[in-house]
Amino acid sequence: MSYPALGARGFLLPTRLKNSYEGAGQGRRASNWKASGAGPAATSSNGLQTLRNRSRHAIRNDPYAFTVIDKQVSNHIGTGIVPKPTHKDETIRSALRELWGDFTEESDADGQLDFYGQQALAGHTFFGGGEVFARLRVRPLSDGLAVPLQVQLLEPEFVPHTKNGRAPGTNNPIRQGIEFEGTQRVAYWMYKRHPGEGSTDPSYNELVRVPADEVLHLHEPTRAGQLRGVPLLAPVLLRLKTLDEFDDAVLFRQEVANLFAGFIRKTPSQSPYPTEGGRAADAGYSPLVGLEPGTMQELGPDEDVLFSDPPDAGNNYAEFMRQQLSAVAVGAGLPFELLSGDLRGVSDRIIRIILNEFRRRVEQRVHGIFVHQFCRPVYQRFVTMAWLSGAIPLPDFASNPRPYLRARWVPQGWAYTHPVQDVQSDKMAVRAGFTSRSEIQLKRGSDPDTIDRENMEDNARADRMGLTYDTDPRQRDDQGEVIEDKI
């Protein structure tokens, strides 16, 4: 029996060791596998602008790329991610909700959207370009805003990822446009105007240092230490382009093939069409026959008509497209059924499993990225500016602001998959004590305080007007029957 060669101290020499993982092998199959060992910041920086440009181009021109981004935004944001203040005092909670409603209508520094529309725009920029920046703009009281604060959304090009070096005066390191002091972000270096707009004013090409507490950076790091975001479509951009070119080529082939309705065939014995100067002579007929409804065409001697039979798209075309779109959906984190609209062979039970898995990922990103990096800091700055401006009295805010800054962020509720069964299961869970009515209402995107108040007002109005509805649980059971008084 032979053994691997041993080193001077009895250890196996590295050249004699066999890779424990096949993926680390260096044999023939892996000889052309060149994997980069770049760090998280360098990896996200290499070719980043090219990725952004190609991602946006695909979204503008490729229907599947557009659908990926559109579906991701609609599922993550919907009609908006809404804060529910959690302060113990109902009066303060109500005042904060009312003032927040006024703020959302005035939050956009560009004056185009409300705050929930800004959430959707941030989502489009985040998924399409990999990241989005937001500046918190403090406004003078003379502007007459409910709260002297507005939010300005900026595309990632405003902070150049190629900006590296040292900050003048402080010697702080600048990495990918972000200035650090130790491990803390202290500033962002921004252009005054989007560099892609081609401004002729040289002052707009200068970088301005903006303190980090005025900037929100919405991005999804996938490696510890990653500084900038990467477009969602990055893993599938090349596949989308190749697939679009293939599909376009098939479509063009069919278009050309179908231009010919038929061909007039002559026997070899007959002389060709007489011509004069390269044009058909007046012989009572023409080699080109126009087709119109009700046309009867007389053919010459020894002529017959051969109708065009263009090739189809191929027997494997539909299955090939389905397989490729499935790969695109996997790479973009979207169920194939949502991307393609193809529900063949999918039962309601299967679609529930698919949607549950997709929604778990959506909820993870909503609360871990959108709420934490964007919604929460905007709300906290809103409460602070509301107190500083005197828009709302908040006792003891200066000494203990945390109770006022706390809020639960509630996305738009998911639609029922089975309305009757879903409601019944929620009711059973509440009655069994597994959850609360408030939790069910929040899960559906509603505000428990608002629902209870409206129910109270509806009941009081019905009693005052002498009305009885079978939906009133005080007087009717689940079947709408009157509940008899029991002693």
**448 falls within a domain:** no
Please tell me whether residues 125 and 211 are part of one structural domain: yes
Q: Where does a domain end: 412, 429, 463? A: 412
Please tell me whether residues 249 and 358 are part of one structural domain: no
Contact 263, 287 (CB under 8 A): no
pTM: 0.82
| pLDDT at 156 (0 to 100) | 96
**In the chain, which stretches have pLDDT less than 70?**
1-19, 257-301, 306-314, 476-480, 484-487
| Amino acid code (one letter) for 456 | M
Element (H, E) at 83: strand 82-85
Range of the domain at 246: 237-271+298-328
Q: Where does a domain end: 369, 386, 412? A: 412
Beta bridge partners of 211: 187
**425 falls within a domain:** no
Backbone phi, psi, residue 38, to 5°? -65, 150
Q: What's CA 54's distance to the chain center, in Å?
A: 16
| pLDDT at 311 (0 to 100) | 59
Residue with tokens 């505000």: 447
| pLDDT at 487 (0 to 100) | 38
**83 falls within a domain:** yes
> How many other C-beta atoms lie within 10 A of the C-beta of residue 192?
14
| pLDDT at 265 (0 to 100) | 65
Please tell me whether residues 356 and 208 are part of one structural domain: yes
Split into its structural domains, the chain has a count of 2
Element (H, E) at 84: strand 82-85
Please tell me whether residues 223 and 308 are part of one structural domain: no
Please tell me whether residues 88 and 141 are part of one structural domain: yes
**22 falls within a domain:** no
Task: Choose among 194, 201, 97, 182: nearest CA to 152.
Answer: 194
